[in-house]
Structures are given as C-alpha cells and as structure tokens.
Structure 1
Amino acid sequence: MSRRHIGQEKFGFSVDRGQHCSLDELARLIDWVPVDHCLYVISCSAKGEPAWPPIALFKAMLLSIWYDLSDVKLAEALDDRQSFRRFCGFSTQETTPERTAFVRFRKALVAHGLDKTLFDEITGQLKAKAIHVKTGTLVDATIIASASQDDEEGHWVKHKGRPAVHGFKAHVGADADTALVEEIAVTPANINDGKAGPDALPDNPGEVFADSAYCGNHFGDAVRAKGGTPRIVATGMWGKDEAEALARLDAWNQPIHRIRGRIEKIFGTWKRSYGLRRMRWRGLAKAGVQIRLTAIAYNMKRSLNIIAMAG
C-alpha cells in the first residue's frame, strides 16, 4: 500500500527553539513502534492519493480528545499548532490531513476492530510503568447519551429521580490505587451493570469494589474465577435488632463507598474534560471506538501525573 512519508523538513532547515510542552512528554511516554504495528493493516487514503501514516492519524485522534476538538477543528489546529505537528510527527512546513482523513481512519478502526487492540497495547505499557503492586479494582458503569435518539443500537434507560437517557453504557474496571482504566465493555444503556460487569474485570483483580448493582452470584462468581475477592455494597444485613443491623451494614459499606468513589473522578474527567458527554457517532462499534480512545487519552495523562509524583 502506498503511504506518505512525513516529518522531513524542507532544505534541512529544522530549528529547535526549545519550546516544549506536555505533549512532548506524552509522546515520550509510549513506545510507538508496537502501536504502529497494530495499525499496519490500515490504509485509509482518498482515491488515487497516498495514505497518511496511520500512527499520525491515531495520535491526532488523541489530540481531539485531550482538547475536545471536532474533526474540522482538529484539522485546523494540526495545520496551525507546532506542538500538535510535533506530536503527530509532521514537520513545520508540510501539509497535514483534512478532516475527511479522520473520518476514513475511524471507519477503518471499526472495520478492523482495532480499538480494543490499541487500548490493550497502550494500557499494558502504562501499567508496566505506573502499577507496581496490584491490590484492588474499581468496577462501575456510566451512561453516555447517543449522538441521535434515532440510533437503533442505543437504548433508553431511566434511573430513579433522573430523566430518561437514550444511549450507551461504558462498563469500566480501574486500578484501585492508580485509577488507571484496565478493562472496558461497551453495551446499550439498558444492559444491567451486574450482567456486563464480568467483561470489565481485568485478570487478577484483587479486591473488587462495586456498588449494590453488582450484587448476585453472576458477578461475584466471575470475580472469584479471576482470583479476586468481591467487596460489594450490601443493601441489608442481619442483626439481633434494627440498630445492630444498621450498624453492621454501615461498617461493611462505608469502606467500600470510600474506595469505589474514586471511579467517579474518572467518569467526571471523561465527560467534563474529554467531551464524552455525548457520543459523536452512531452505532455500538463507533461508541466503543470513542470510549476506548478516551480511556487511552485519560490513561496517558494519568500515567504522566503518577510518574511525575513518584519522581
């Protein structure tokens, strides 16, 4: 397949003015060679044109999440901002992709089912840098509104006291200490948390902290099968009287609430800072791409902070 060669300055005039930013640190955080290898099957060129390197388009997708940019705004920013060009591997003078290249790239990710492969590769690298001793896992789910209520692969769901939402649900397993996202399952919004929860469990999860939606043997057995210990919020306990039962219930639930509440910060960052308040594209497969790309972007930023604090 024919591909463009990028990153070469014209006439050899490459000047480093020492203007570096956090994107340069993020670029150094990952070994991009195996990521590029995962993307090797992709060629999403316009008819009759050489394809843009898929690794450059993938990095551009991360920029769109960190800075909450549409395809149009991403194309404009990539053309204009030197830090964006540097992160993606473009020189200061060469042309950069138009928005249609990003559309074709996403379609190719869906067609080849590469979003989970990319998530696993990058998360594996980050875990090796940031997670030293695995002690526990946070499991929870968040609902994300669909791009359109006409999306037949989304579904309506209503929680008590809240308006009904049409969309999808991200089921997430995250490390209890570092808050790095380790596993993701994406479903229509009406799928029960406990039913989909096993798909959000990483291997060797340690103690698994979850709310009462995960009560029941289906989830608990899945945790134990992976070598973990369920720590699920209880809705009732026995006691010789009501006061004793409530005291025992509170003693069991309070430590779980305190730990599992950390996952809400992950969802808050996704929705508040990374534009995941609503899906950008229609369909379950594209919802999976958007959620996993968001998780990759989040994990990279989170790992950079963890490593900086440890240093």
Structure 2
Amino acid sequence: MSKRNLLSLIDMQAADIAYIIERTLQRKNGKLDGERSLKGKAVGIHFRKTSTRTRSAFTLGANKLGASVITYGPNDLQTNTGETLQDTAHILSGYIDALVLRTAESLDEMKILAAQENMSVINAMSDKEHPTQALSDLATIQEHFGHLDDLHMLYLGEGNSTAAALALAISRIPAMKLTLLTPKGYELPEEMYKQARVFASKHGASIEEYHTLDALPGSADIVYTTRWQTTGSSKANPNWREHFWPFSVTPTLMKRVAKSTRTIFMHDLPAVRNEEVAPEVLDGPQSIAFHQAHNKLFGAMATLEWCILGK
C-alpha cells in the first residue's frame, strides 16, 4: 500500500484508530518481538520544540523496527535560509520514508510537506493537536481496563493540543465518554469541539465541555490533566493562573470523582507539581502517568508501521 500521513485524527477512520491501538498493545506485550518491519527504511526526526517522551519514543521505536534514523535540530534545515517548504519536501522525500515533525505552528506547513508521494509526515504535536499522544493513551487505557467502551474520562485544564486529540479519538470509541472541564477562555477550539461531537453522535460516544467545577461528574474511570502552560508558550493574561487553580487535580478532587480504587490518574507529562496536579496524586497508587509515558514507545512503533507500510 502507499504511504499514509498522520496529520490529524480528523482524517482517520475509526478502524484505523482501533488498528493502531491493537498494534501498540501487540508491541507492548512482546507478540511482535524480533519483527524488524522497517528494515531498509529511513525516518527523519525533526523537533523544533523541546521533547523528552515523544522524541525518544519515535527515535528508539524506528531503530527497534530496523529503520535508519536521521535527526534534524530546529535550525538544521535550509528552510532557515530561505528554501521553500515545497522544495524541502521534494528533497527529503528522496531520502527518507517518514518525517516525524513537532512544531508550535499550525498544520499548514505539515500539509505542505505531506503533499508528495513518497514520504509520510507524522504530527508529533502542533499548536492544535497531538494525535500520537491520544492514540498511545487509548492503548494504555485499554491495557489497564481491558476495554474502552463504557469508560468515562474526566479531563481538567486547558483545551490544548492533547485535549483536542483526546476528544477526536474518544469520539470514535462507541459508548466511551469524555467530560472536559476547562477554564472559560481556555476551552477547546470551537471547530475541534464541534467536529468531535459530530463524530461522537455517529459512533455512539459522548463529548461534553463545561467551564466550572459545578459540572464535576459524580464519578469517572479516568482523571486526566496536562501542563497548564505548554513549554515555550505564554498566555496573554498575566493573571491566567487564577482561572486555572480550581481545575488542579488534588487528593480531594480524586476522592470526589473516584468510583473506587479502580479510578486512575493520567498525565501526558511533563508535570508541574503543585500546579495542575498535587505530588500525592502524581506519585500515588492511582497514577499510571509514568507507565503511560513508557507506552509511547510502542505507540510510536505502531504509528510508524501504519504510516510507512500502510499496515
């Protein structure tokens, strides 16, 4: 099959999401050990913003699958000296089979890079969406509970790229529910929220967003939060933290929404302790945040295979 791009979960089918989740767990469980499916392929890693987990996961994942890896720093490509993205894409597509790209900008440049026939482009986080994070997270949830249907995730914090990806992914899981509690003015982008609700209506999922803790549900299976301020970004309002403090995940909040010890805590990391999450929660027995981070390796491997091999 021809190469695929992973720019936005909007472009994926429910079956594609299910496949990557299953393939992630097969990799995690050792069922595909020794299968170097990308032997002879080449993967470019181009991160213009900081990354610990995603960059490590895709670099190591490509190596484990047998691919050659070339890493580009934020100032390495000739786009910095005036070469067009179109020309850069034409050149890179003659060398590598996939480009894993992180940028704080919109998807527009990723779409330009993807407009050729030979090289897959993978969104490793843009300003609006972090699709590989959500796919890996759903695999971690399925690993933990044994299923995704009928589970309820409570998300607290900014309607950022991770929140958008979670909404777009969960909206394709039948009977799964996502409740987002976001500060007013820091909600999901309207187009993302509307699209997620369209998908949810079609697939029998539920996506709801509120802006006050009055809407805190009586129970949830998963409590999820993210860093309030994405690395390298800033907020216009100097007093923005005042709007975020009520949405901090504390032991008291966990007790309010926990069904039992069954309820888990997740975080895409890095965390700012004593801001979006209390240390007692992040390090507590209900937290699977660090296990979640380690699973990104297997999610990266599944994504690379899906994109490059069309599997």
Please confirm whether the aligned pair reaches a TM-score higher than 0.5, indicating the same fold.
no
Q: Larger % of helix: which?
A: 1
Larger radius of gyration, structure 1 or 2?
1
Highest relative contact order (Cα 8 Å, sep 6+), 1 or 2?
A: 2
Q: TM-score, normalised by structure 1?
A: 0.32
